[in-house]
Amino acid sequence: MYEKYRIRRYGFHGTSHQFVAERCAELLEKPLAETKIITVHIGNGGSLAAVKGGQSVDTTMGFTPLAGIMMGTRSGDIDPAILPFIMEKENLDTKQANDLVNKKSGVLGISGISSDMRDLENAAMQGNERAKLALDVYAYKVKKYIGSYIAAMNGLDLLIFTGGIGENSMYIREQITSNMEYLGIKIDKNINDSTKGVDAIISTEDSKVCTIVATTNEELVIARDTMRIVDNLK
């Protein structure tokens, strides 16, 4: 099937992962080729990448954007046997089943309220238990991937948050990075709570892993790649 239909882990958000990894290594004056980086691009869609020596060695999204962490409306990784089970029980065809896991699941499905983290954070603060559960599950899913990527790369120098949620949700960043001191990740709560939509180092001075919030610029990467391709055609 791999050869016949080109089924493979393609991954997504590549331009964003590339930009923030290169940009943050540059800001810290560390050679990209000598760093171990995890980039966390989280918005309504989301993916993580393990970047070792400047090369992506793993990424959460796969053949489609459905794989990986739970998202706004996407389920993320689930037991594949769940789909045929639900299709049989609910009498769904393949299009309806695809619609279910792509457009009606994720934090929307758990909360029953919204796919927007801002709505869920507000609802959770007002005591909505399903909204709080959606936020907790979301952070837990991201945290697990960070741990697995640290294991895959045998260490971590730099953890980067980007994307709409990564750049703007102080609460989600805190939930993801909490209780990770054993992996060298320590966040300065005061700095984290005051960082929204700007580039900033949010880890403590004694943290073994530098954690950065970085504003992504995918358009710039596309423009540079286009220019490079055109120049090579001359």
Q: Which domains does the chain have, with CATH numbers?
A: 7-233 (3.30.420.40)
- 233 pLDDT exceeds 90? no
Q: For residue 114, which phi and psi values (nearest 5 degrees)? A: -160, 160
**Helix 94-103 and helix 82-90, axial crossing angle in degrees, nearest 10:** 120
Q: How many residues comprise the chain?
A: 234
Calculate mean pLDDT across residues 99-114: 97
Sheet with 36-42, side-by-side order of all strands: 55-59, 46-52, 36-42, 158-162, 210-213, 200-201
Mind listing the pLDDT tens digit for each residue in 138-158? 999 999 999 999 999 999 999
Q: Quote the CA–CA distance of 219 and 155 in Å, as a whole number.
A: 30
pTM for the model: 0.94
Tell me which DSSP letter residue 8 carries: -
pLDDT score at 109:
98
User: Which pair of structure tokens corresponds to residue 228?
Assistant: 């490079």
Q: Are 141 and 194 in contact (CB under 8 A)?
A: no
Calculate mean pLDDT across residues 14-33: 94
User: Which pair of structure tokens corresponds to residue 183?
Assistant: 């992996």
3-state secondary structure of 82: helix
pLDDT above 70 as % of the chain = 100
Calculate mean pLDDT across residues 45-68: 96
Calculate mean pLDDT across residues 228-234: 87
pLDDT band at 234 (very low <50, low <70, confident <90, very high): confident
- 79 pLDDT exceeds 80? yes
Calculate mean pLDDT across residues 96-117: 97
User: Which pair of structure tokens corresponds to residue 86?
Assistant: 């639900």
pLDDT score at 124:
97
Calculate mean pLDDT across residues 197-213: 96
Calculate mean pLDDT across residues 42-55: 96
- 127 pLDDT exceeds 80? yes
